[in-house]
Amino acid sequence: MNLPVVQACLTETDLTRIHRAVSYVATHDTHQVLAELLPDLTAEERDDVSRHLVFDHTAVLVFPDSLDGLCEELRRCGLRPGPVTPSVVVRERLARRHGPVLGDSPVGIVHVAVDGRSVEIFALPVPPGSGLEAVAEAERAAEHEAHAAFAVTSPGAVVPAGLRTLLTERGGAAPDGGGYNDHEDVTVLYFRTSDHRRFELRLPGRHEPLPDPATALLGVMTGAWATQAVAAMAELRIADHLADHPGLTADTLARRTGADPDALRRLLRYLTTLGLLTSADGTYHLTETGRPLRTGTEFSLHPLALLYGGPFYDSFAGLTHSVRTGQEAFAHRHGQHHFPYFAQRPGLGALFHRAMAASAEMFTPVPHLVDFSGVRRVIDVGGGNGALLARVLRAHDHVEGVLLERPEALEAARTQLAAQGLDRRCTFVTGDFTASVPGGGDLYLLSRVLHDWEDDRCLTILRRCAEAMRPGSRLLVVERLLPEREGAWSTAVAWDVHMLCNVGGRERTEAHYRHLLAEAGFALTTSHNLPLQASLLHAERM
């Protein structure tokens, strides 16, 4: 008896794509795949991640003319396919991209075993001459469904939650949908890397899915509400009340803050979703995230919350103007640059200096990262209220300081250094660092100055420093650095837009600063990480 001949149901293009996927699975292990997808993770982080997941399979979407005979065709090509099962998640994704043209066409999944792993073949049947041929062409070009998959080996909810956080915040991956597959009893979570490759985590059982794209977008769009909620928490000093008396009810907090009880209860509920508070039995407690909003503590972020919820919040309403023109929105909305605007309004100026002091935690390691043994005179150029210079003077008794600033900033600096008994070891100089910088220093500081300006003004400031310095003198620059790889996560990326909008400046990569320093006559020698994602750049005058 002659068996029926199985007709080829896959194109040569799709067969080539399948064999390429098989080769990838056969030649790559977990570490290699993680390194390719998430190069921002350190080797230690990849080692740690690899203890909780394994490279399971890679996937490819193909377009046979029918699901019938697909397994026979794969066997004829020397592969070992399992049975065809339905794919709800992929079909929904295709439907979102292509709409009604899919009709009621099914999408199947076939797993092909490869050396203990597999290739996951998604199959959308495309009958010859059907309208789905355009879908197949578009999907082959975009490879939307191609991905690598990792099976999470640690049970429970804690490890998967930690993996999701690490992969997104440190690895730079973005959530890209997913859902529960009841045919396999697994939750599949998709992620997309900065270079547009996709991978998935496969979690045994049913897990809380990540937000769908529309919900995730709504969360981003309502970020302004979160800013104002935090500012309201700061204005009402809720953190102070809860730090002094943990477990207060909304009614008690309302009496102590002079707020409407119902309205305050609604704000408190929102703050719990933001992670600043927790609630239990009608009472509220500060979280570690909420504690920096207390006043009167070192590195309190209370003034920053008021600043970001006040004048800087308002200027962001003009961000489109900044993007269209390249000019800061603050001046567009308030009629002048924010430095003179704050200088003419003592209340705002004082708030600004308190807000800058709130970030002084980044200065903590600086006096211990640099050799000050041969340093006698430190010149702090544009040193604000003297927070960094004060730390250097406290750590090194033999050092004297010079602080160059605008008159209103010098008053704040005198007050701060006098309160610490350091004013007698510091000379306060009124001046403009674009015109001249005091000479005679062994070491010069530029802390959070250069990011306020565009490149031409930065070069002017650096050249004034170089003119005042002897060859071999050192310059320390404190700034947030943009990641060299576009798409990598960093707080500096958000601050870069903030600088555009509010002062007309920018954050820069280390390579960008290296170029500016070299053009001004400096050699960048080393860099160190600082708290709050800042960096210390150490340069020498050539």
Residues belonging to the active site: 451
C-alpha atoms less than 13 angstroms from C-alpha of 135 in its C-beta half-sphere? 28
Sorted by sequence, the CB contacts under 8 Å of residue 385 that are 6+ apart come out as: 353, 356, 357, 409, 412, 413, 416
Q: Which of 232, 274, 19 is nearest to 121 (CA)?
A: 19
DSSP class of 169: I
**How far apart are alpha carbons 413 and 137 in whole angstroms?**
66
**How far apart are alpha carbons 419 and 413 in whole angstroms?**
10
CB 165 within 8 A of CB 103: no
Q: Which of 442, 366, 435 is nearest to 404 (CA)?
A: 435
Q: Which of 455, 457, 503 is nearest to 331 (CA)?
A: 503
Provide the residue type at 78 as one letter: G
**How far apart are alpha carbons 137 and 230 in whole angstroms?**
49
**How far apart are alpha carbons 438 and 436 in whole angstroms?**
7
DSSP class of 327: S
- DSSP string for 429-442: EE--TTT------S
**How far apart are alpha carbons 101 and 135 in whole angstroms?**
9
Task: Please name the helix (run of DSSP H) or strand (run of DSSP E) that holds residue 428, with its range, or none.
Answer: strand 426-430
Q: In what order do the strands lie in the sheet with 277-280?
A: 248-249, 283-286, 277-280
Give the residue carrying structure tokens 């010098």: 410
Q: In what order do the strands lie in the sheet with 186-192?
A: 85-86, 108-114, 117-123, 53-62, 147-152, 198-204, 186-192, 174-181
